[in-house]
Chains A and B, each alone.
Chain A
Amino acid sequence: GAGVSQSPSNKVTEKGKDVELRCDPISGHTALYWYRQSLGQGLEFLIYFQGNSAPDKSGLPSDRFSAERTGGSVSTLTIQRTQQEDSAVYLCASSIQGTSQMFFGSGTQLSVL
């Protein structure tokens, strides 16, 4: 596609529910990243995919967070049993390879009530 696409753009959920966030990277980009941006905080790295494997998942804050990538393309970030502190903008980015210029999607604004 022309750019990195994320859906939904906004998600409101109740505490304790599970949510799935989707990222569709730029076609041909093998590297995919998830970041989180909380109000008043900087961008926090969550996980990195190279192809379908995740060699760096060091930023996932707890075992409630998981992510997968299929077909070397679309990725899904799943948050189980959401908590209010999970409220943030979740940003996805992709690059041709791991060390080149990074392109970001518009993000998913997650609000946990």
Chain B
Amino acid sequence: KQEVTQIPAALSVPEGENLVLNCSFTDSAIYNLQWFRQDPGKGLTSLLLIQSSQREQTSGRLNASLDKSSGRSTLYIAASQPGDSATYLCAVPGSGNTGKLIFGQGTTLQVKP
């Protein structure tokens, strides 16, 4: 059974710092991995989708890497801003070819001005 773990559960940094969020998964037979952002009281916004054939994806100040063999992904946020404060979730496909996702518990990030 696929399980997804995110470390740390919470993180507080001063504005301008570079930071790394970690995600690990138990079953490496995945075809993609997604990172999402969730603001309080809101739904999820897809940030990056990495296909299993890719090693990393970049969008602006965000860079996500994927190492299938070790069951790990990282989300790197450069030059953090207060507006980056949110909960970040990683997700991998569950069993069967339905596209349903198995989510980690998330990392809640606070960037202080």
Contact = CB atoms under 8 A, between A and B. Distances in A.
Interface of A: 4, 6, 31, 33, 41-43, 45, 48, 50, 55-56, 59, 91, 93, 95, 97-107, 109
8 contacts: A42-B89, A43-B91, A43-B103, A45-B94, A98-B98, A98-B99, A99-B32, A107-B43
Contact residue range for chain B?
20 to 34
B93 A56 contact: no
Interface of B: 31-32, 34, 36, 41-46, 49, 89, 91, 93-94, 96-106
Contacts of A50: 98
Contacts of A104: 36, 43-46
Contacts of B43: 4, 6, 91, 104-107
Nearest to B48: A101
B102 A45 contact: yes
Given A104-B43, A104-B44, A106-B42, A99 B99 contact: yes
Given A42-B106, A102-B34, A48 B42 contact: no
A101 B47 CA distance: 10
Contacts of A101: 34, 46, 49
